[in-house]
Amino acid sequence: MITTDVIIIGAGPVGLFAVHQLGIKGLKAEVIDNLDKAGGQCIELYPEKPIYDIPAVPECTGKELTDNLLKQISPFKTNFHYNERVEEVTQDKNNWIVKTSRNKIFIAPNIMIAGGVGSFEPRKLSLKEAEKFEGTSIFYSVTNKKIFENKSISIFGGGDSALDWALELSKFSKITLIHRRNEFRGAPHTLSEIKKLERQGKIFIKTPCQLEKIEGEKNIKSISIKFDDGKIEKIETDIILSFFGLIMKLGPIAEWGLNMDKKTILVNTNNFQTNKAGIFAVGDICTYPGKLKLILSGFHEVALASVECFKRAKPNETYRFEFTTASKTIHERLGLEKKQ
């Protein structure tokens, strides 16, 4: 069991800045995120797109913003628990107990939900029969390359993931790359490699078409694809790999007894606490009259929420508001001055 002052759910920009606001107040935090790295939507949805409305930063990409936030919070040496989704939240007197999908257990007086629109999960194939083959013949990511050796693999998608894996797996398997339109979106080098392998008969490209039917009992035997002109083609297939990006799912958050408005959590605007004392919601996932889903709103929200977190984590201490420019204590916490 991990004991801390604040459990932060979500390592997006707002969750990261929460670490800072808590850290300068002397509070420890543990951060949990379902993705394999920090940044949330900034990294997953628009790493290369510039953002223009971060105060005093005229322009930066989602990746730059994330990297800078990580640098800003590095003095606090926070633990990040990636690839884990928070499944259960239960109360124990003044504390909250959090259990993750990897059965890690955390206990803290405060939970800060900075979960954006929910956790990222791969977008699944829409055919009903796809479900029963998932994990045996249908995959949405490659974790163990061995499974994909010496097989007939049909890869769906037109983006980087589909193209990169088509290249990689074509080294030892027969690859059919299937996409709904003729254009692929990928690095020019990757595209030319794919074309080269197609000429050599190592990769087969089928466009514009979509998955029509999957056949097989325990494992897939073949699939049928339907072209835009109505023509149907059957392709011998052992494995389907599908890359249609990620979707965001609210997941278990909806079951924690919090007052919700559709997919967002209702909070007050004094300290962004939910209807449960000690559970806060900040960033895109919270809502209140006038709420704007901006990163800068999230930054404001964590600053205020962290004050209440302090009061709950250190009930016998008095909270003192301090500026980072002048406070010796903050400078010590930031590692700028040695403790006297």
Partner 1 sequence: MPKITYITHDGEKNTVEVPTGLSVMEGALQNNVKGIDADCGGSMACATCHVYVSENWLSKIEKIHDAEQDMLDMAHEPKKNSRLSCQIIVSNDLDGLEITTPVKQS
Give me the count of residues in the chain. Answer: 340
> Can you tell me the distance from the alpha carbon of 140 to that of 149, in angstroms, rounded to the nearest whole number?
16
Q: How far is the CB of 185 from partner 1 (least distance, A)?
A: 5
122 or 216, CB closer to partner 1? Answer: 122
156 or 299, CB closer to partner 1? Answer: 156
Give residues with Cβ within 8 angstroms of 205, minimum separation 6: 176, 177, 178, 179, 194, 198
Nearest CA-CA partner of 19 in 266, 294, 305: 305
**DSSP H or E run through 302:** helix 295-313
Binding residues (CB under 8 A) for partner 1: these are 41, 45-46, 117, 123, 126, 157-159, 179-181, 183, 185, 210, 228, 244-245, 247-249, 284, 293
Give residues with Cβ within 8 angstroms of 195, minimum separation 6: none
Q: Are strands 2-3 and 6-9 parallel, antiparallel or unpaired?
A: unpaired
171 or 181, CB closer to partner 1? Answer: 181
Q: How far is the CB of 117 from partner 1 (least distance, A)?
A: 5
Q: How far is the CB of 183 from partner 1 (least distance, A)?
A: 7
Backbone angles phi, psi at 247, to 5 degrees: -115, 165
45 or 107, CB closer to partner 1? Answer: 45
Q: 58 forms bridges with which residues in the sheet? A: none
Give residues with Cβ within 8 angstroms of 305, minimum separation 6: 18, 21, 112, 271, 272, 273, 280, 282
Torsion, Cα of 141, 144, 147, 152 (10° steps): 40
Q: How far is the CB of 157 from partner 1 (least distance, A)?
A: 7
Q: How far is the CB of 126 from partner 1 (least distance, A)?
A: 6
159 or 216, CB closer to partner 1? Answer: 159
246 or 277, CB closer to partner 1? Answer: 246
Q: How far is the CB of 45 from partner 1 (least distance, A)?
A: 4
33 or 238, CB closer to partner 1? Answer: 33
Q: How far is the CB of 180 from partner 1 (least distance, A)?
A: 6
